[in-house]
Structure 1
Amino acid sequence: MTAVTDQDHTEHPEHSEQAEDAEHAEHSGNPPGRHSGNPSGRHSGNPSGRHSGKPSGSASEAGRPEEAGRPGRAEGDRSGADDASGRAGGASGGDSGRRTRDRSPGANANMSSGASAGDGDPWDDGLIARRAEENPGHAPYALTQTRPPAQQIITPLSYDPPLRSRLEALRELVGLSRTRLDNHTLADAGRVLDEAAARRRLSGQHTVVAIAGATGSGKSQLFNALAGVAISETGVRRPTTAAPIACSWSDGAAGLIERLGIPPRLRRRPLQPGPDEDEQLRGLVLIDLPDHDSAAVQHREQVDRVLRLVDAVIWVVDPEKYADAVLHERYLRPMAAHAEVMFVVLNQIDRLPGEAAEQVLDDLRRLLDEDGIALGEYGEPGATVMALSALTGDGVGELRDALGQFVAERAAPSRRIAADVDIAAARLWPVYAARRRVGLSEEAREEFSARLADAVGATAAGEAAERAWLRNANRACGTPWLRLWRWCQERREPATGRQVVRPQPDEEATARQRVEQAVRTVADRASAGLPAPWAQAVREAAARGAQGLPEALDELAVRAGLPPGRPPRPGWWPVAVLAQASMTVLQFVGGLWLLAQIIGVMSPNLGVPVLLMMIGIIGGPLIEWSCKMAARGPARRYGMEAERRLREAAAGCGRARVLDPVAAELLRYREVRERFGRVAGVGAGSGGR
């Protein structure tokens, strides 16, 4: 039989003096509340109803035969080991007014061991205070000798490389995303990192398993059956379990239990008599939780809090509430990723006749499959589903064996953290996963640059440069008479016709609108397919760059426009000018020659002067036309060069102010997307699975 100790240094209210009197009355034949003629139900000279002025269940009473089977206190009580042993010696010499009766065969043999339990054992400083009458289904149990624990070195938990890589990626992901995502979105990921770091610092040789269930499912009864002794209170009163109770099968789990917020008075430890039984569940820390559907809000809050911290959970369901919507929608379905660290136990099968238990178990498996919980069948990883009866013990041994193998693997903490990372990644999926390929294509960049060039008037500036080059060529290579006529035409034109028309305000407004439209277009293309936070960041970066962009483009247009002075001249221009001058000289020579013949200065000979004049008159326009044809190519190149310079200037300004900030946001998104892929397990291991 298994005994149990706790760490309570205070009086348990459940073990009342009335229960003690009733027990004495049962052995002595006296009615309850009477003891050896003492109508007050107290021992003589002790108005408080305690033995020798000590609290009931103290260390000295633990050694008496009449109380060997009743829960009491170990020697670690605040009264001190020496005081307790002294009172125990006095009690063994004779205790008048007390009725003695052995409740177990080993009671007399354990009289001294109960009083001399190992000092300093953090688990052996008290006994459970529970009424024997409230647990009629459990056999009486006796105290077994406790061995002082040896000095134990707690080995911290060590995660495998894939899980460490995922946690590191999650930490980097949170750090890179803090300026783009709100704290509420990153809260779950931060909690997972905190819990993983906290769990890693604690024992890696222990596995914390919580038993959870609804009201009346029998989870406390199963808790007691696994421990082999009545630890958690059971009964028809609802709710029965008001606070989590911890039971550890080995030393070194104090830090884990403190992390769960379970006080020492609610910590228990069964003492296994055999080495085989002691090794079977070594490293197990079992937690009995309050009802998850309790009417008390604080009970449900405690369940939710502890479930986030334990390594595994045993869900206890009964034939009446195994399909409860609260259980499936609030707990099982959200915890589907934790299937490998989950046991689903159908309790109370003794109430089901015939094959009804198998039918209910099959229906339970169907519901779990609908919840998305993988079932550990046919050697596949998943939740363990079984049926048992904690009352009759049917199937409890199979659950104990499964727990023993589960604890021996020492993989539950890593699997739990890996599942938490999976859930955090699934919740972060909408803010990191793109609906399609994202980024700025070369086509989008070129279109943006073209829009800015149009807004700044690059095409018109090139055309103006081409016309200026042609005009300069015509002036240099044209006939004198044509230049004279053009000069007269310009003189006769009104003054307004020769003024440079400056851009009107409506034209400037149109150019500004073109710039804004170009920025909006490139921002929409860059943010297309991105998750909402990153799309918003891209649009904001583009909007910041658009501020002052029209003014900057205007300055560029002035600096990168036509250079001052005349356009450059090609090498053949002097030859053309000389030829045009020769044609003019021929015209003058022929004319003067004819004039001299007319006035009689020279002998008449019309052929030569007329020929010279015709050569000059025809040759001049012909040279001008040839120069104009030859100037089209250089003029076009000159205009294209001017347009190119303006386009490049506009593109550089737009790139520095808009495209580069947008590209930086896209690069940041690619970085976080890469880390999110590592967190989600893409290209990495499953992290402890």
Structure 2
Amino acid sequence: MKDDDPADRSESVSEWDDGLIARRTSETAASPQEITIVEPRSPSVLQPAPLAYEGPLRSRLDALRELVGLSRTRLDSHTLAEAGRVLDEAAARRRLSGEHTVVAIAGATGSGKSTLFNALAGVALSETGVRRPTTGAPIVCSWSDGAALLIDRLGIPGRLRRRPLQTPDGDSQLQGLVLVDLPDHDSAVVKHREQVDRILALVDAVIWVVDPEKYADAVLHERYLRPLAGHAEVMFVVLNQVDRLPGEAAEQVLDDLRRLLDGDGIALGEYGEPGATVLAVSALTGEGVAELHEALGQFVAERGAAARRISADVGAAAVRLRPVYATGGRGGLSEEARAQFTGRLAEAVGATAAGEAAERVWLRHANRACGTLWLRLWRWHQDRRRPSTGRLPAKAPADEEATARQRVEQAVRTVADRAASGLPAPWAQAVREAAVRGAQGLPEALDELAVGSAVPQGRPPRPGWWPAAVLAQATMTLFQVLGALWLLGQVVGFMPSNLGLPALLLSAGVVGGPVIEWCCRLAARGPARRHGLEAERRLREAAAGCGRARVLDPLAAELLRYGEVREEYAKVTGVESGAGARVG
């Protein structure tokens, strides 16, 4: 990077526009260790350009926002809290400077992070010593103007804001760096640990400082490094105090540190691969500090840490949300499940029995219409002699109603379980609840359908041969009457004696009537069967339509919503996937 003009440097030194209040006097007026505190000035009107999210990151953030919106009525607020926080922080960071990179230095008590902080700044800005904890509050150092709003976001007051040592040639390599020295993450003071956790969630990158004694500390690895494994690209791990290690011990400890980081799932940025930068330094003697300075300068110059941090946060949120959006199975409503559900509803409503009853009714009408006159008179007489009770038609027994209701409930539970199979627990519960809501009042609705759709009111339709059969039966009755009257006239002497013809007419009527009736019964079986099947079909379709409107459609809508959130979740993870619930 090309150095600035001396006049420009002197102008930038003489006027601070970001509220930083720790001002050193010039080198000729004071030693590098002396710091003058002045009142902060208002920020400049010209602020650095805001951060821009482009390409895949912008798409992932949009997908995460859509995912949260679609899930608010299905998932509790606690489950979506982390995703909401990531969206809020991404929006807040986007409004701020895209030309600055906020890096925190974190470490345990006695790790030497404050000494390293001072070494990078070139002046003692953070207190060091044997008293523990030394750093009681976060201290920030900015290498360029325009970072006031970023520092305000961290909640660091003006009295704890610093400027690095101003050398004659300047430190253009770290221009844009905002370095924060955090309290000890293992401090006995709860407030210190809370400050560490709060600021770590807001910075763009972290330099973890470990020492030869505590680099394998379980608290560091389990509480911080392992949960932040996805943030390896915005992470530096610095083994400090290597001057205390003799001979090749420093390399051995560094190799062991790399092994532990690999066990934490942290990718190491070696051989050109993206990942965490691991270095060995001695902030006290200066060994390795120049290498860290150079690596940090290249990191800041890329101006990509903020976007990578947000991308890592989105990835971490997606990992936490995986149990509620993605499983190994695939739920859905198959055609087989739909057919079984409608079949059970038809059984519950008695579609088969209703069809058989309709068939019997048709046969009874056919027998009455095509039977002999004497048989029809006999049946009419028997109907008149049958006493009328004046009661309403008897309802189905209570045990039959209970059985039908149980069949409906069982059918609803079965189809809901089939639809929810393989879905994450919250969505499976939502599917079952939708089925239960739809099943309310379903048995009563099916009862109404059974009354109104099974057997149509009035006489059933008649086939074309029916009038001919009735006419033939009337002819046979007429033959019987004529033959009988003719014989009676011969007996009383009213007509001449001739037994052959009247006997033939009488015999034809007596024999022909039953024969025609028997033939009509045979011919009526087919139409009666078709009539019964039609009645059964109507009732099955009515039951299926009722079940579809009340249960299957709500289930399909719930599965469609899950399919939508599944697609959005795939976009959040950065993997386009067509997998989803079957909603057909």
CA distance in 1, matches of 2:497, 2:110: 144
Question: Residues 509 and 561 (structure 1 numbering): CA distance in 2 closer, same or farther, change over 3 Å?
Answer: same
TM-superposed deviation, 1:161: 2.1
Between 392-401 and 530-539, report the one with greater CA deviation: 530-539
CA distance in 1, matches of 2:163, 2:491: 145
Q: Please tell me whether residue 118 in structure 1 is matched to residue 11 in structure 2.
A: no
Specify the alignment match of 1:292 in structure 2.
185
Specify the alignment match of 2:573 in structure 1.
680
Structure 2 SS opposite 1:239? coil
Specify the alignment match of 1:549 in structure 2.
442
Q: Quick one: which of 477, 481, 491 aligns to 2:370?
A: 477
CA distance in 2, matches of 1:269, 1:655: 71
TM-superposed deviation, 1:393: 1.1
Between 641-650 and 321-330, report the one with greater CA deviation: 641-650
Structure 1 SS opposite 2:472? helix
- Counterpart of 2:245 in structure 1: which amino acid? L
* Matched residues, number: 558
Specify the alignment match of 1:224 in structure 2.
118
Specify the alignment match of 2:57 in structure 1.
163
CA distance in 1, matches of 2:133, 2:309: 29
Larger Rg: 1
- Counterpart of 1:118 in structure 2: which amino acid? S
- Counterpart of 1:650 in structure 2: which amino acid? A
CA distance in 1, matches of 2:398, 2:222: 65
Specify the alignment match of 1:632 in structure 2.
525
CA distance in 2, matches of 1:461, 1:656: 23
Within 5 Å, which residues of 2 pair with 1:314-463?
314-463=207-356
Between 417-426 and 618-627, report the one with greater CA deviation: 618-627
Within 5 Å, which residues of 2 pair with 1:164-183?
164-183=58-77
Give CA deviations for 1:301-340 in whole Å, capped at 9, x if unaligned.
1111110000000111111111000000000000000000
Contact 1:118 1:124 in 2 (8 A): no
Between 655-664 and 461-470, report the one with greater CA deviation: 655-664
CA distance in 2, matches of 1:656, 1:123: 65
Where structure 2 has 5 or more consecutive residues not aligned to the other structure, the ranges are 1-8, 26-30, 578-584
TM-superposed deviation, 1:236: 1.0
Question: Residues 142 and 212 (structure 1 numbering): CA distance in 2 closer, same or farther, change over 3 Å?
Answer: closer
CA distance in 2, matches of 1:546, 1:172: 31
TM-score, normalization by structure 1 = 0.76
Structure 2 SS opposite 1:327? helix
- Counterpart of 1:286 in structure 2: which amino acid? L
TM-superposed deviation, 1:635: 1.2
Structure 2 SS opposite 1:674? helix
TM-superposed deviation, 1:223: 0.8
Contact 1:152 1:251 in 2 (8 A): no
Question: Residues 286 and 498 (structure 1 numbering): CA distance in 2 closer, same or farther, change over 3 Å?
Answer: closer
Specify the alignment match of 2:397 in structure 1.
504
TM-superposed deviation, 1:586: 2.5
Structure 2 SS opposite 1:664? helix
Q: Taking every aligned residue pair, what percent have the same amino acid on both sides?
A: 76
Structure showing greater relative contact order (alpha-carbon pairs closer than 8 Å, 6 or more residues apart): 2
Between 296-305 and 277-286, report the one with greater CA deviation: 277-286
Specify the alignment match of 1:560 in structure 2.
453
Structure 1 SS opposite 2:257? helix
Structure 1 SS opposite 2:207? strand
Give CA deviations for 1:368-394 in whole Å, capped at 9, x if unaligned.
111011111111111111111111111
Contact 1:123 1:269 in 2 (8 A): no
- Counterpart of 1:516 in structure 2: which amino acid? E
Contact 2:33 2:124 in 1 (8 A): no
- Counterpart of 1:661 in structure 2: which amino acid? P
CA distance in 2, matches of 1:670, 1:561: 38
TM-superposed deviation, 1:294: 0.9
- Counterpart of 1:232 in structure 2: which amino acid? S
Q: Please tell me whether residue 206 in structure 1 is matched to residue 100 in structure 2.
A: yes
Within 5 Å, which residues of 2 pair with 1:507-522?
507-522=400-415
Question: Residues 488 and 121 (structure 1 numbering): CA distance in 2 closer, same or farther, change over 3 Å?
Answer: closer
TM-superposed deviation, 1:496: 7.5
Q: Please tell me whether residue 251 in structure 1 is matched to residue 145 in structure 2.
A: yes
Q: Please tell me whether residue 619 in structure 1 is matched to residue 515 in structure 2.
A: no
Within 5 Å, which residues of 2 pair with 1:81-96?
none
CA distance in 2, matches of 1:417, 1:464: 70
CA distance in 2, matches of 1:497, 1:619: 40
TM-superposed deviation, 1:497: 13
Q: Quick one: which of 410, 418, 422 aligns to 1:529?
A: 422
- Counterpart of 1:169 in structure 2: which amino acid? A
TM-score, normalization by structure 2 = 0.89
Give CA deviations for 1:177-198 in whole Å, capped at 9, x if unaligned.
1111111111101110110000
Structure 2 SS opposite 1:563? coil
TM-superposed deviation, 1:605: 4.8
Structure 2 SS opposite 1:194? helix
Question: Residues 117 and 273 (structure 1 numbering): CA distance in 2 closer, same or farther, change over 3 Å?
Answer: closer
Contact 1:545 1:658 in 2 (8 A): yes
Specify the alignment match of 2:582 in structure 1.
none
Contact 1:117 1:124 in 2 (8 A): no
RMSD: 2.8
CA distance in 2, matches of 1:306, 1:673: 32
Specify the alignment match of 2:83 in structure 1.
189
CA distance in 1, matches of 2:172, 2:326: 47
CA distance in 2, matches of 1:658, 1:123: 63
CA distance in 2, matches of 1:469, 1:244: 93
TM-superposed deviation, 1:562: 2.3
Question: Residues 438 and 620 (structure 1 numbering): CA distance in 2 closer, same or farther, change over 3 Å?
Answer: same
- Counterpart of 1:170 in structure 2: which amino acid? L
Structure 2 SS opposite 1:639? helix
Question: Residues 377 and 120 (structure 1 numbering): CA distance in 2 closer, same or farther, change over 3 Å?
Answer: closer
CA distance in 2, matches of 1:446, 1:390: 74
- Counterpart of 1:200 in structure 2: which amino acid? R
TM-superposed deviation, 1:646: 1.8
Structure 2 SS opposite 1:226? helix
CA distance in 2, matches of 1:253, 1:591: 125
Structure 2 SS opposite 1:270? coil
Specify the alignment match of 2:4 in structure 1.
none
Structure 1 SS opposite 2:337? helix
CA distance in 1, matches of 2:21, 2:377: 123
Contact 1:221 1:234 in 2 (8 A): yes
Q: Please tell me whether residue 306 in structure 1 is matched to residue 202 in structure 2.
A: no
- Counterpart of 2:465 in structure 1: which amino acid? W
Specify the alignment match of 2:539 in structure 1.
646
Question: Residues 480 and 219 (structure 1 numbering): CA distance in 2 closer, same or farther, change over 3 Å?
Answer: same
- Counterpart of 2:108 in structure 1: which amino acid? A
